[in-house]
Structure 1
Amino acid sequence: MLIITIAIFAPFLAAVLVPFIYKQIPNRNIGWFVLLVPLLLFLLLSSFIPNVASGNVYIHTIQWIESAGIHFTTYLDGLSLIFSLLITGVGTLVILYSIYYLSERESLGRFYVYLLLFMGAMLGVVFSDNLMVLYVFWELTSISSFLLIAFWYYRKKSRYGAQKSMLITVTGGVGMLAGFIMLFVMTGSYSVREIISSIGQYTDDSLFMPAMALILLGAFTKSAQFPFHIWLPDAMEAPTPVSAYLHSATMVKAGIYLVARFTPIFGGEMVWFYAVSCVGIFTLFWGSFNAVKQTDLKALLAYSTISQLGLIMCLLGLGSIGLREGYSANAILYTQATFAALFHLINHSTFKGALFMVVGILDHELGTRDIRRLGGLMSFMPATFTIALIGSFSMAGLPPFNGFLSKEMFFEAIVSIRNLDILSTGMLGSMFPVVAWIASVLTFVYSVIIVFQTFLGQHHPTRLDRKAHEAPIGMLIAPSILAVLVLGIFFFPNVIGSYLLRPAMMAVFPAFEGAPGLVPEISAWHGFNPALWMTVGVVVVGTLLYFSLRYWKGIYNIAPMRWSLDSLYNSLLIRTELGASVLTRSYMTGYLRDYFTYIFIFFIVVVGGGLFWTGQVTIDLSNDASITINEYIIVCVMMVAAVAILFAKSRTSAIILNGVLGYSIAILFVVLRAPDLALTQIIVETVTTALFLLCFYFLPEWKKEKSLWTTKIINGMIAISMGTVVTVLGLVVQGNKMFESISVYFENAYDLAGGSNIVNTILGDFRAFDTMLEVVVLFLAGIGVFALIKLKAGKGGRDVEDQ
């Protein structure tokens, strides 16, 4: 349907309009205009829920690059619907929250432009069926998130975090692009739907495994999986609304979407199962382990996000093994891990979005996020405390909150996976439940830290920058809605199961469509099973670890900081910059003659060497036109003028000789019956000569440099070699025509374009777009010059003490 395509571009159109509207309305009110975009899109996409739940999918194609097989095809199914509802739904709440969070002194117009760009890019990712179009939107999410993270660009940490996220995610994106191209080489199609339907015959292709690895690289970097997770904590320097949006519901979920979407393609392979599930389970543990030691609430939530993303990724890997089993009872059992992943995806967006907003409220109202300075806030901020309690206990996996349901399903999937034949004979089958349980214990610990150390205990007003008080009602609306969803999903989970999760499962497992048991019934009570006892163990052990935290927290100081991945990244970045600086200084000498020398030598070696190495130096002059005496004379004059410039004693002599060379070319055009080119050459030569004379008049006296005779010999050899290669290349091309000249087509210009002047017709009709873009370039250059002329130094400045 065309309406899905419109939904993608609606945020981009709004982003274009924001700067104009921003000038016409009060600063804060721009947020209310922007709020309408995701709200209307959410309502629009919600209208598709009943039809998609019935098994309908919506496809719309706009023909684009036919020769390359690249078309703008949108595809709405159960999987893309879940993500699009999260993008627009959470986006609506984040913008509502930002209206009250951000100060009027901020550049709100710029903020909302970036946010809308990101929203449109994410919708493009989840709706795109064509791999190349998906990649374009994928990298656009990296660019727009870079702008959002660096919104407070005058802060050194913001710039660093933005750069870090850009480098890591874009690097993964380039690898993903290579994987997409490999898929196209194998299957001959860029369409995800077509690749899924035909992939069975290509699994033995030599490019299949490399394509899988590269696509997983893109997914892991975007979703902050170990060891690429290091960009996410530094990205928390962004404003809290950005963190609540990018790092709980959207950007980090792009990698999750990619793995889910490509599970039908690669899911039957053991490499996919091991890579996704093992990376996910270790990321789950590593994120929860590092979250406990954080003293900044936002940093704690950053590592908890890494951990939760690892949990979802692990479940997707475990569920993919169902494709290898084929249609059977065991296969359906394993696919329920994917169901749990999709369910926890929704739950995580609700409770983590609420928690990010709570931390933003604390920072906004109290001036700090440092846990060591907080405490006893429950009586001052009861509404904020309630939201934090709901979000934290849901993240810990406690009832009656939605996180408990998906966490129980996670435990059940982890326990059932031990029955796989590939795992039952080794330690790996037991390692999964053990690591998952330990990570869940640590998750319980840091969830309790958020509630107890922030809102309970003793209050320390002297440690706060501002007096403790409840946040304004406007700032509480968005997190309250998310908290209500946390509770509502717990009591009515099967509404989501039937209308959202069921069609999403059909998208991930199209081969099992309609299979009984593919979508399990969600229930809070499954009896006294292993998952329940694991939860009981999590609560008991987690409580003991929390109250004994001060006795064992010293383990975080055992490993020196220089062994961390952050230190490795910083060291690599510094060494790369130093290496680039040394390399640049080695050839950037500041002398134009050196740069020409590099260019000429490269050309001589590559082009000249290539011609002689391949034996392509064959010259055929038999079909060339005869040369008249007039042409010989003009060429000789040009040669004499060109050589004489080298021996000129003054600038004026050199300019005159250069003019002789230019006007001789114009005369040659006249002889060859090209009056328009001759006229252009005369105009250009006249203006150039005049400008040279004008500029050189103000330059100091010209003193020719005295060069060593060895330098002169080397320069002479380079010049002769360059001239020889260019001449030979021209003769080779002229004498070896592999195709009929394109000029034959243009000779029919009058019939094709209605113009009798072939040159004008080429410029105005045949290559009209090229000419138009050249004019646009000149226009942009003019705008740039105008902006520089009008630019005025700003008064005052921002606080740059941390630069």
Structure 2
Amino acid sequence: MSLLHLAVLSPFLLALIVPVLYKLFRQIHTGWFVLLLPILLFSYFSRFIPLTKQGDVIRERADWIPSLGIHIDFYVDGLGLLFALLITGIGCLVIFYSIFYLSKEKEKLNQFYVFLLLFMGAMLGVVLSDNLIVLYSFWEFTSLSSFLLIGYWNERERSRYGAQKSLLITVLGGLCLLGGIILLSVMGNTFSIRELIAQSGQLMDQALFTPALLLVLLGAFTKSAQFPFHIWLPDAMEAPTPVSAYLHSATMVKAGIYLVARLSPVFAESGTWLWLVSLTGLITLFWGSFSAIKQTDLKGILAFSTVSQLGLIMSLLGLGAAALHYDSMGENIYLAATVAAVFHLINHATFKGSLFMVAGIIDHETGTRDIKRLGGLMQVMPITFTVAIIGAFSMAGLPPFNGFLSKEMFLASMVNVLELDIFNLDTWGMLFPVIAWVASVFTFIYSMIVVLKPFTGKLQLSLLERKPHEAPIGMLVSPIILASLVVIFGLFPNLLSTSIIKPAVAGIQPGFALDDFPVHIAIWHGFTPELWMTIGIIAVGLILYLFFQKRQKPLLLLPDHLSLNAVYDASLRELERSSSFVMKWLMTGSLRTYLLSIFSFFIVSLGFTIYWKNAFALDTGHFAPVGFYELLLAIVIVVAAIAILFAKSRLTSIIILGAAGYAISLFFVLLRAPDLALTQLVIETISVSLFLLCFFHLPLMASRKEERMSFKLNNAVISIGVGVIVTLIALSAHSNKLFDSISSYYLENAYKEAGGKNVVNVILVDFRGLDTMFEISVLSIAALGIFAMIKLRLTRRKAKS
């Protein structure tokens, strides 16, 4: 195992130790032990910056299932390194913040940090995996670990609801992603992302290309909360604030962004990809920003703001795909959209992480996040207010903060859509700058709400649960660091241009020689269209903000019962009602009903398959001759099976069934297999004895006259159907041998390899020794279970007496 593999798996290893540390060192906050790991990982991944800056890629492989082409391939390029630094860097700040936010006396810290470490390791696995099956395994682990984190306060109904909602939606998308991965592997005969990118030109011409594209996007859209799958994200705000700051600003919701960025070279030449990704992003941007201004909970506003910002990044990645349709770097203006996406990805992690922490501080110090009860906090919380101003103004796209720069690049990309003459963008592309501008106005409004409503106005102590004061320094360190990065990256954006942004863009657009494409971010570009758009956004945004403040009721678009959340809840209720109806219909408690359903499905499914595939074949050339005694035994078995149907008592049925079993043992005698015959005789004797012992205690059978003829007919049809299907399958399997029987191998090697002359014993003990051992283990477990149930029943009887 390489050091890179160890780095990815280290959070899982530490998660195993955290419960021990929690019990041994109760007087120390567990977060101090956990904090060391992301610091070490951030330092480790920072060492790769000079390498990726030069275009190098670090690869490490460990075999997992090589026969299926599944290897644990980790590789670090510019894109993977960017996400790894975000995961570990923001992880450091979040864990440090949680040490002061979560009380070691009141909270289950062992569970919290185990869940957080599992999530960190899963995210690192997602962004550093080259093999799609490995990526998918980590992908689903992020859904599971985020479910545990969102439902951390599981005694709260809303926490359980939010956790369930996120799990259902993201896992559903994950299953779609798995389908897309399988289709990609069928087309490209590989699970490697690198190899699929190399084959992208050939993949586009295949019939499975579009279905694979749609399935992959469904997985990405559900994870990154794109419309209409965004509904899980606001309910996930029931998680503790450190979880919200980590999962929903910098990591989990960015997994879908990462997937789209990573697989863009595979799908980007398709117009379907460009339109779906960019238009879905813009719709999400608009809907998220519009929904945010209707919220009254601070974390609710930030949740919908996250939805809108994710849509902004997604739309830029969609437009960046247009770069692949230009051969000349001079004509390629849309590589700039990819640069803007990467830059805003970084900026969003900084300003949104700081704002989530500010929301947590306000909740921690006042006991509420309701903006209708908050106001005037800048008088008592000046440092928190300063951090909030920096984060909110950056989110609104105001200078001199980093959000202003990436927002200007976003608007420029939207305006330049009209210069494209592909996929009807020169006409329908007019929608892009219009939607972007309107959504940006709403973005400005909710940014002002976040900072002005809680901190300005009159301080109303009577509406607060606790008397507010400035947060302790431990809770302020992390948001101050993030706010400082907002200012630094805003004033000196090119600190990241060549070291982080350019290598990341190279990972998304590997076909371009980025040495010929300088990544230079400037604060002033003159009086450009995007600058005038920004001025208009600020002017209209201020007017609308003041207008909304005078409204007594929040702005509503749809009634609650017509919202997407209502559709989700109604779907769950209908699913529960339908499943309850089906369960009541099927789960009758009658073994006969269960067998009827199972055997009916068996007959229909296999019979249809044999007919549809024309799979039945009959070749009598391999059949051995049937002797007189074999024919006689077969008649005895058939007569015994039919006689059971007319038996008047269970005792008679058991004896006849035993007679059929003993007749089968005589077949083994005729076929010169005395050991099998002896085994069959022993098993049959034990089975008959156990049946007699069990049925002796059952009540007498009802008279046969009381049974309806129709029920007997059902039994006859089902039994004959199963017999016919099994016979057809056996005959077809015998007549369609694709390879020689393995029996000759056992005959030739039993004595030579295992030193045994009894071939059957050698097979059971040597060639299939593990199989036999597991069978013995299963029998032993079953025997222990039966013994335990008997002892439990006897104990209860004694207790009652």
2:87 is paired with a residue of what secondary structure? helix
Moved more, 351-360 or 30-39: 30-39
Moved more, 617-626 or 286-295: 617-626
Aligned to 2:115: 114
Residues 129-144 of structure 1 mapped to structure 2, 5 A cutoff:
129-144=130-145
Aligned to 2:795: none
Cα deviations by residue, 1:349-407 (Å, 9 ceiling, x for unpaired): 11111111222222233222111121122233233222222221221122332212212
Cα deviations by residue, 1:61-97 (Å, 9 ceiling, x for unpaired): 2233334322222221000000011111112222222
**Structure-2 separation of matches of 1:338 and 1:87:** 21
The letter for the 1-side match of 2:239 is A
Aligned to 1:794: none
The letter for the 2-side match of 1:388 is A
Residue 721 to residue 86, structure 1, CA distance change in 2 (3 Å): same
Moved more, 704-713 or 322-331: 704-713
Residue 693 to residue 259, structure 1, CA distance change in 2 (3 Å): same
Residue 785 to residue 659, structure 1, CA distance change in 2 (3 Å): closer
Residue 714 to residue 416, structure 1, CA distance change in 2 (3 Å): closer
**Structure-2 separation of matches of 1:543 and 1:789:** 77
**Structure-1 separation of matches of 2:283 and 2:618:** 63
Moved more, 717-726 or 443-452: 717-726
Aligned to 1:528: 527
Residues 488-567 of structure 1 mapped to structure 2, 5 A cutoff:
488-516=488-516, 518-551=517-550, 556-567=555-566
Shift of 1:713: 2.9
Aligned to 1:342: 342
Moved more, 347-356 or 175-184: 175-184
Aligned to 1:321: 322
Residues 7-156 of structure 1 mapped to structure 2, 5 A cutoff:
7-26=7-26, 29-104=29-104, 105-156=106-157
Instruction: Report how many residues are paired.
Output: 788
Aligned to 1:237: 238
The letter for the 2-side match of 1:109 is N
Residue 769 to residue 246, structure 1, CA distance change in 2 (3 Å): farther
Contact kept in structure 1, 2:294 and 2:554, CA below 8 Å: no
**Structure-2 separation of matches of 1:69 and 1:227:** 35
**Structure-2 separation of matches of 1:206 and 1:731:** 37
**Structure-1 separation of matches of 2:130 and 2:20:** 33
Aligned to 1:568: 567
Cα deviations by residue, 1:195-231 (Å, 9 ceiling, x for unpaired): 2222223333332233222222221111111111111
Moved more, 341-350 or 538-547: 538-547
Cα deviations by residue, 1:455-491 (Å, 9 ceiling, x for unpaired): 2211222222222233333222222222222222223
Residue 508 to residue 612, structure 1, CA distance change in 2 (3 Å): closer
Shift of 1:166: 2.1
The letter for the 2-side match of 1:514 is L
2:600 is paired with a residue of what secondary structure? helix
**Structure-2 separation of matches of 1:584 and 1:760:** 46
Aligned to 2:266: 265
Moved more, 341-350 or 620-629: 620-629
**Structure-2 separation of matches of 1:215 and 1:342:** 21
Aligned to 2:308: 307
Contact kept in structure 1, 2:274 and 2:321, CA below 8 Å: yes
Shift of 1:8: 1.9
Contact kept in structure 1, 2:418 and 2:426, CA below 8 Å: no
Aligned to 1:385: 385
Shift of 1:663: 5.6
Contact kept in structure 2, 1:377 and 1:454, CA below 8 Å: yes
Shift of 1:772: 7.2
Contact kept in structure 2, 1:749 and 1:758, CA below 8 Å: no
What is the CA RMSD across the aligned residues, in angstroms?
3.3
1:474 and 2:474 equivalent?
yes
Moved more, 718-727 or 657-666: 657-666
Contact kept in structure 2, 1:344 and 1:406, CA below 8 Å: yes
Cα deviations by residue, 1:494-532 (Å, 9 ceiling, x for unpaired): 12112111111111222212342x242122222332323
**Structure-2 separation of matches of 1:391 and 1:150:** 27
2:73 is paired with a residue of what secondary structure? strand
Contact kept in structure 2, 1:65 and 1:71, CA below 8 Å: yes
Cα deviations by residue, 1:575-599 (Å, 9 ceiling, x for unpaired): 2332333333333332211221222
Shift of 1:348: 0.6
Residue 628 to residue 387, structure 1, CA distance change in 2 (3 Å): farther
Residue 735 to residue 407, structure 1, CA distance change in 2 (3 Å): closer
Shift of 1:776: 8.3
Aligned to 1:435: 435
Residue 33 to residue 627, structure 1, CA distance change in 2 (3 Å): farther
Identity rate, percent: 54
**Structure-2 separation of matches of 1:417 and 1:612:** 55
Aligned to 1:801: none
**Structure-1 separation of matches of 2:637 and 2:27:** 65
Aligned to 2:5: 5
Aligned to 1:796: none
Aligned to 2:586: 587
Residue 692 to residue 224, structure 1, CA distance change in 2 (3 Å): same
Residue 690 to residue 615, structure 1, CA distance change in 2 (3 Å): closer
**Structure-2 separation of matches of 1:325 and 1:150:** 48
Aligned to 1:798: none
Residue 477 to residue 763, structure 1, CA distance change in 2 (3 Å): farther
Aligned to 2:597: 598
**Structure-2 separation of matches of 1:488 and 1:788:** 69
Aligned to 2:192: 191
Residue 751 to residue 494, structure 1, CA distance change in 2 (3 Å): farther
Contact kept in structure 2, 1:388 and 1:451, CA below 8 Å: yes
Residue 735 to residue 439, structure 1, CA distance change in 2 (3 Å): closer
Contact kept in structure 1, 2:494 and 2:521, CA below 8 Å: yes
Contact kept in structure 2, 1:268 and 1:322, CA below 8 Å: no
The letter for the 1-side match of 2:367 is G
Contact kept in structure 1, 2:418 and 2:425, CA below 8 Å: no
Residue 591 to residue 262, structure 1, CA distance change in 2 (3 Å): same
**Structure-1 separation of matches of 2:780 and 2:553:** 62
Contact kept in structure 2, 1:279 and 1:310, CA below 8 Å: yes
Contact kept in structure 2, 1:418 and 1:424, CA below 8 Å: no
**Structure-2 separation of matches of 1:684 and 1:113:** 50
**Structure-1 separation of matches of 2:35 and 2:781:** 32
Moved more, 287-296 or 203-212: 203-212
Residues 354-393 of structure 1 mapped to structure 2, 5 A cutoff:
354-393=354-393
The letter for the 2-side match of 1:747 is L
**Structure-2 separation of matches of 1:458 and 1:790:** 71
Aligned to 1:797: none
Shift of 1:450: 1.3
Residues 730-749 of structure 1 mapped to structure 2, 5 A cutoff:
730-749=730-749
Contact kept in structure 2, 1:327 and 1:512, CA below 8 Å: no
Shift of 1:49: 0.9
Aligned to 1:445: 445
Moved more, 781-790 or 73-82: 781-790
2:6 is paired with a residue of what secondary structure? helix
Tell me the TM-score normalized by structure 2. 0.90
Tell me the TM-score normalized by structure 1. 0.90
Shift of 1:310: 0.7
**Structure-2 separation of matches of 1:75 and 1:106:** 37
1:72 is paired with a residue of what secondary structure? strand
Contact kept in structure 1, 2:417 and 2:425, CA below 8 Å: no
Shift of 1:287: 0.6
The letter for the 2-side match of 1:543 is L
Residue 203 to residue 719, structure 1, CA distance change in 2 (3 Å): closer
1:329 is paired with a residue of what secondary structure? coil
**Structure-1 separation of matches of 2:463 and 2:761:** 76
1:59 is paired with a residue of what secondary structure? strand
Aligned to 1:795: none
Contact kept in structure 2, 1:27 and 1:108, CA below 8 Å: no
Aligned to 1:167: 168
Shift of 1:253: 0.5
Contact kept in structure 1, 2:241 and 2:356, CA below 8 Å: yes
